[in-house]
Amino acid sequence: MKKVIGNLVGGLVGAAILNIVHQAVAQFSEDAPRVDKVGEEALSKGLDKIGIQPPQGKKLFLTTLAADVISNAAYYSFIGTVRRKNIIELGLAAGLLAGVGALTLTKPMGLDDKPITRTNKTKCMTVAWYTIGGLAAGLVIKALRR
């Protein structure tokens, strides 16, 4: 049980760091990826498809942020399923994979990919932020295993 809780805590820390970096850099850089905009579109389209009126404005942003933190925390928590000596490497790989997935899967899912693919700098930051989140999750999970 302690391992599961450590994995969930690590996943939550990785997801929190990912979102903090996304939001902070968006305040200072025009090239910053806007994954939140992709998430808002995905949430709105998903709710529309099942006949639920999506929230608007700040409510949409906060609902999307909560869903993003929960989904990324769950994803990053799987980093802890490997042996302790490989956790940091898996954290890096999981983050890298999530970043590349964000760039390559958005358009095939019927979403506007411009908020994360606008420029080469935007693309690099998208992958980097997810990788940072994966690394943070791996470091926390490893530390909690000691």
Mean pLDDT in the chain? 95
Percent over 90 (pLDDT), the chain: 92
Tokens of 86: 């490989």
C-alpha–C-alpha distance, residues 14 and 143, integer Å: 13
96, pLDDT greater than 80: yes
- Residue 44 corresponds to which tokens in the numbers above? 């709105």
DSSP 84-111: GGGHHHHHHHHHHHHHHHHHHHTTTTT-
User: Which structural domain range is residue 53 located in?
Assistant: 2-145
Distance CA 20, CA 129 (A): 10
Q: What is the pLDDT of residues 53-77, one digit of tens each?
A: 999 999 999 999 999 999 999 999 9
Task: Report the Cα 24 to chain-centroid distance in Å.
Answer: 14
Tens digit of each residue's pLDDT (9 = 90 or more) over 110-132: 999 999 999 999 999 999 999 99
- Inform me whether the pLDDT recorded for 85 exceeds 90: no
Tell me the pLDDT band of 83, cut-offs 50, 70 and 90.
confident
Confidence at residue 84, expressed as pLDDT on a 0 to 100 scale: 76
pLDDT recorded at residue 4? 87
Q: How many domains does the chain have?
A: 1
| The pLDDT of residue 51 is above 80 | yes
pTM confidence score: 0.93
Write the DSSP symbol of residue 51.
T
CA dihedral angle for residue 68, residue 127, residue 75, residue 88, rounded to 10 degrees: -140
- Residue-wise pLDDT for 22-31, tens only, equals 999 999 999 9
Predicted pLDDT at 31: 95
pLDDT of residue 5: 92
CA dihedral 25, 31, 36, 40 (to 10 degrees): 160
* Tokens matching residue 85: 């000596």
